[in-house]
Amino acid sequence: MLIYKILREDEWATLKAQGETDGSPADVADGYIHFSTATQLPGTLAKHYAGETPLHMLACDPDTLGDKLIWEPARGGDLFPHLYRRFTLADIQWSRVVELTEDGHQTGPLE
């Protein structure tokens, strides 16, 4: 199973340039990097990124993120993965652009 991080264009550019990041403004405010599972991702996109483009989806293997990845209850009581350390390029398995269509954000196939 993979987990997913969404970044805006400027956040993605910062991560690529610096090799690590504290994440989005919401991540910084909350003190951890927010991730979503494949089933949680549509809700995350609708709630936090409605109408935004371009967005970048970064896929990560939770087993490689170490003990700083904690699953905690969040929206609707679901357990969400939260990373309590800086997020690095090395954490990413793959990435792609999330397209915005008239039907909303299109992530393509998820694992």
Indicate if the pLDDT at residue 50 is higher than 90. yes
pLDDT tens digit string along 54-94?
Answer: 999 999 999 999 999 999 999 889 999 999 999 999 999 99
Q: How far is CA 99 from CA 62, 94, 105, 110, in A?
A: 24, 16, 6, 14
Query: pLDDT-derived band of residue 111, with 50, 70 and 90 as boundaries?
Result: confident
Q: What is the pLDDT of residue 3?
A: 98
Query: pLDDT-derived band of residue 104, with 50, 70 and 90 as boundaries?
Result: confident
Using DSSP bridges, classify how beta strands 79-83 and 69-73 pair: parallel, antiparallel or unpaired. Answer: antiparallel
Q: What is the pLDDT of residue 27?
A: 97
Residue 23 main-chain phi, psi, to 5 deg: 95, -160
Closest CA to 106 of 61, 33, 23, 46: 46
- 56 near 95, Cβ under 8 Å? yes
Classify domain 3-100 by CATH architecture: Alpha-Beta Barrel (3.20)
Q: What is the pLDDT of residue 29?
A: 97
- 96 near 57, Cβ under 8 Å? yes
Q: What is the pLDDT of residue 103?
A: 86
CA distance 79 to 91: 20
Task: Give 89 or 111, the one with higher predicted confidence.
Answer: 89
CA distance 110 to 44: 14
